[in-house]
Amino acid sequence: MCPSNTTVATIRKAHRAKRTEQERTRAHRLNGALDTLKEQTTSMPFNKCWKVTKSQLYRNMHTHWRKDCQTKGS
């Protein structure tokens, strides 16, 4: 017996809502991790209004880690 169109639509809607929530959770976690990196790698005081692109953040991280490795190696 085939499910009705209403049942299929309801199942699809629930599945889409679950996927949307999963993506929202993933994005929130990623943004939280990026905020933590900003706090730890920027030389300026962390300010929520201060915009940093991901490429700037990655460059700052690389510089920060390089300095940290040189300090530990010396």
How far is it, in rounded angstroms, from Cα 5 to Cα 31?
A: 39
Residue 51 and residue 32 in contact, taking contact as beta carbons nearer than 8 Å? no
List, for residues 53-71, the tens digit of each pLDDT value.
Answer: 888 888 877 787 788 788 8
Rg from Cα positions in the chain: 22
Residue 39 and residue 46 in contact, taking contact as beta carbons nearer than 8 Å? yes
pLDDT value at residue 27: 94
Task: Take residue 43 and report the two structure tokens written for it.
Answer: 């030389």
Domain residue ranges of the chain, discontinuous segments joined by +: 5-72
Greater confidence, 13 or 55?
13
Q: Is the dihedral of CA 27, 29, 30, 31 positive or negative?
A: positive
List, for residues 23-54, the tens digit of each pLDDT value.
Answer: 999 999 998 988 887 777 665 555 566 677 88
pTM of the full predicted structure?
Answer: 0.58
